[in-house]
Amino acid sequence: MKHADERVREQYVEVAPGVRLWTERRGPADAPALLLVMGAQASGIGWPEPLVDALAEHHHVIRYDHRDTGKSSHSFDEQPYRVTDLAQDVIAVLDGLGVERAHLVGLSLGGMLTQLVLADHPERVLSATLLGTCALSETSYVRPDGTPVPVAELPGIAPEVLELWAHPVEDHGPAAELDRRVEHWRVLGGNQLPFGEAYFRELERRVIEHAGTYAVSTAHGRADDSGMLRTAELARNAVPTLVVSAPAEPVFPPPHPQHLAQVVAGARLVEIPGMGHALPPAVLGPLAEAILGHTAGGRREG
């Protein structure tokens, strides 16, 4: 049986007038806090349970639903917000839960939000881990041979992903929506690991059950994404930062991770073999090991 302080705890945090976010905490309450920041249109339930449990062996793990996802307020149409407001939500979650500082782990858009917090509120961050994302910097990537590559010339999103994203999501019922999500994960996973259809189907069943609806919000795609560059601030970064390189990544393919590790001062790079823009079972062990190895260098109470 788990100790009382290790039970899963759910709580809502108000981040703006009338806007509240669902949060969940697990792991010892007196362990260093670790906040998981998900990608666009994705709720906190998208973080796989085995990964959350592995991290909770050493941390007070927090995950949450962004605005317009899961059990959080779906408010964009009445109260439009900017992408940078979603980064302020990270701070609001920490404030609402009484956490002074935390290790941050951000995936995709969550990796961008984590960079914004690194740049704007470094005093709140014990360490940062960035997954499946791109640098919020105008600094060119420098190849190993010393050749500079402008950001605009770095590889773009894979055609098969763009093809999926080009079609608006239509409501053909819950079964068809579940099929669509599974196919989405198949493409996002890349081509280096076998695809576990049953795993992702069950993951999305839990996501839908948690939200209470299979409807898909487009709020994050419509939010104003201006004002996100933090070139100078990231170049001055002093927070221990880990960049995870995923060789099968189809959204921000290599050398985006290498570029990110160059523009965030002091960042180090680790590769997870076979990883794409998804979190299948095969990558969870190596990913947890990489994150915990990184946070071990700065474990102290937040």
Q: Domain limits of the chain?
A: 4-154+217-298
Residues near 171 by beta carbon (within 8 Å), at least 6 away in sequence: 177, 215
pLDDT for residue 41:
94
The type of residue at 84 is T
Q: What is the pLDDT along the chain (302 residues), one digit of tens a residue?
A: 343 345 789 999 999 999 999 999 999 999 999 999 999 999 999 999 999 999 999 999 999 999 999 999 999 999 999 999 999 999 999 999 999 999 999 999 999 999 999 999 999 999 999 999 999 999 999 999 999 999 999 999 999 999 999 988 889 999 999 999 999 999 999 999 999 999 999 999 999 999 999 999 999 999 999 999 999 999 999 999 999 999 999 999 999 999 999 999 999 999 999 999 999 999 999 999 999 999 998 443 33
Q: Report the alpha-carbon distance of residue 218 to residue 177 in Å, rounded.
A: 15
- 87 to 37, 61, 114, 300: CA distances (angstroms): 10, 18, 7, 23
Instruction: List the CATH code of the domain at 4-154+217-298.
Output: 3.40.50.1820
State how far the alpha carbon of 129 is from the alpha carbons of 45, 270, 284, 287, 294, in Å: 19, 10, 14, 10, 8
Q: What is the DSSP string of 116-141?
A: HHHHH-GGGEEEEEEES---S--PPE
Q: How confident is the model at residue 168, as a pLDDT?
A: 86
- C-alpha–C-alpha distance, residues 34 and 93, integer Å: 12
Beta strands at 141-142 and 148-149: parallel, antiparallel or unpaired:
antiparallel
pLDDT at residue 61, rounded to an integer:
98
